[in-house]
Amino acid sequence: MAGPLPVSPLAQPMPELPPIAGVTLGVIEAGIRYKGRADLTMLEFAPGTTVAGVFTRNLCPGAPIDWCRAALKGGKARALVVNAGNANVFTGKAGRDATAATAEAAAKLVGCKPREVFLASTGVIGETLPHDRLTAALPALHSGLSPDRWPDAARGIMTTDTFPKAALRTATIGDATVTIAGIAKGSGMIAPDMATMLSFIATDAKIPAAALQSLLSKGVAKSFNCITVDSDTSTSDTVLLFATGQAKHPRIPAEGGAMLRDFARALDEVLLDLALQVARDGEGAQKLIQIDVIGAVSAKSAHRIAMAIANSPLVKTAIAGEDANWGRIVMAVGKSGEPADRDKLGIAVGGTWMAQEGGVVPGYDEAPVVAHMKGREVEITVDIGLGRGKARVWTCDLTHGYIDINGSYRS
């Protein structure tokens, strides 16, 4: 694409991320695709670091996804290498060779097994990754790793993102305070499960891999799998959580348990914070949209209905145009394939009920709805009227900016 993209009006300032004990990180310009910017990121972890991961369900995944799925079985991590600009997807044997060469080069620098090196790539699909440039840049990158380069890492993994994304929380385990810090990238090709979305989270807690995996999987279900920008599930989605074990706290059993209740709360907050930043940076986005579905026959049904609304181009363009066209929401509910009764349906925007029990609310005044839709954040509530199932998802509006960005992505 020609020139930098304007920063999303929904952007949030990046928080200061403190060093996480057992983590050093850094970036370098490897010339993989971009010129004049860092495009290669590396994190090194203390020996004994455990790891958990959640990946795309796209059936045409990139070579790094295959590599990470295999590596995850060991439960241990010593390094992470991420490149931006080339997704290493649909590249056959060349893609597999690139992952092996990268992991081997990083492992030699760190002093670990290649399967303790995790990999992620993001960018253009179908172009061979010039891994010779990548591996050539690794020694200098590794020698410059330090604990305080989280902001550089957040920027180094960006592609069409307009702002770096980071989140920070603390939690207690016993009497000890532990820290959780995370970064993410994502702007387009965003939909469960999960999105062109990379997210890397680190904590100084000492948590067994099985317990860590359970916490991450549950947290992703409530965050990254509840956002959509364009209904397109990327081939490269990766969320990795690393626990370095450097904090001093009571021993945690393999299954986790009640001792991790506050840690789970903090991790969920980090994941949701990052997920909403991705939605805020949706390509061309001008508005963040929260969709609540209540009264469905089940929570799963409510989620599917909410996602049908969130993925509807007609709903998203109506919101972009600040048009209080609730008929498009009715359409999206009906097309979801989930149980719905037209004569029991209720729809509200910004807390104002426009329709209830299948018809327009008597005396409905559109003015407060229009006023609400002029804001940067829009809330939609749909009452299905059939049960107690509920769900909440987030999306963004659909503007011409989305076409501008994706129509020239490779050029």
Catalytic center residues = 196
Question: Rounded to whole angstroms, how far apart are CA atoms 301 and 112?
Answer: 46
In 3D, which of 126, 25, 120 has the Cα closest to residue 72? 120
* Amino acid of residue 183: I
Question: Rounded to whole angstroms, how far apart are CA atoms 200 and 280?
Answer: 18
Please report which helix (H) or strand (E) contains residue 104, including its range.
helix 92-110
* Amino acid of residue 223: S
CB 293 within 8 A of CB 391: yes
Left if phi > 0, otherwise alpha if psi is -120 to 50, otherwise beta: which for 75?
A: left
Question: Rounded to whole angstroms, how far apart are CA atoms 140 and 407?
Answer: 36
Strands (E), 70-203: 79-86, 117-124, 165-173, 176-185, 198-203
CB 64 within 8 A of CB 234: no
In 3D, which of 223, 381, 222, 387 has the Cα closest to residue 298? 387
Question: Rounded to whole angstroms, how far apart are CA atoms 103 and 98?
Answer: 9
Strands (E), 204-327: 238-243, 288-296
Question: Rounded to whole angstroms, how far apart are CA atoms 373 and 318?
Answer: 10
Tokens read off for 145: 């790793």
Integer Rg of the chain from CA: 22
Question: Rounded to whole angstroms, how far apart are CA atoms 99 and 118?
Answer: 9
